[in-house]
Amino acid sequence: MPYEPPTHSVERSLRATTGAKIIAGVDEVGRGAWAGPVTVCAAVTGLRRPPDGLTDSKLITPKRRTALAVELEKWVTAYALGHASPEEIDELGMTAALRLAAVRALDALPVRPDAVILDGKHDYLGGPWKVRTVIKGDQSCIAVAAASVIAKVRRDSMMAELEAEADCSAYAFAANAGYPSPVHKAALEERGPTRYHRLSWSYLDALPQWRHLKKVRVSAEAVALESGGQLGFDF
């Protein structure tokens, strides 16, 4: 199905309504994976015309996506990546881990953006950043699409490198990038999770022999209750 190429309309709107001059597009990859980090890319593009074929990374073939990422890394004004590890995801939960990775990416840019365009409907970044959320921003917004492609290619490459490690070769990370797949599930059933797996994820519920490894994240509310603290209630 033909798709409309992304544009700079959101960037232009932010410039007109907020006075922002430096605008970063932000997108993540790895949110639904069983293993590996969640990775966020922040990309600043200006208002220049992007390389041909730019769109949401999921709509591009792996071969073209890899080649396009090389073009984009040279074309963008600036970009940076941030990661949150499996341990941080287990400890903090996904929303906080996404924010951590996004802040790391934004802080690593050579210049601080005046505004951020965030893919999706939920603002997991929050203040002090000026955020505009855009549903399917990786398809409609050039800066977010660029971030989408760079993040996807970089994280896929990181996961493929893990497959070379002796204790990871059975999990087919090069093919599945840590996401659910039959080969990945079979390896988990036989060998259990590696140090790169998220141990708070529900996939462990279906693995009786490894279920004891599952980590349960304790919320701040539960900690306060256990310690006898009050959660803002008046009695």
User: pLDDT tens, 74-100?
Assistant: 999 999 999 999 999 999 999 999 999
Tokens of 57: 């990374």
Confidence of residue 219 (pLDDT cuts 50, 70, 90): low
User: pLDDT tens, 129-153?
Assistant: 999 999 999 999 999 999 999 999 9
Tell me, yes or no, if the pTM score tops 0.85. yes
Q: Which residues pair with 133 in a beta bridge?
A: 118
User: pLDDT tens, 193-209?
Assistant: 999 999 999 999 999 99
131 close to 118: Cβ distance less than 8 angstroms: yes
Tokens of 69: 């990422």
Helices first, then strands: H and E counts in the chain:
9, 5
- DSSP element (H, E) containing 142: helix 142-162
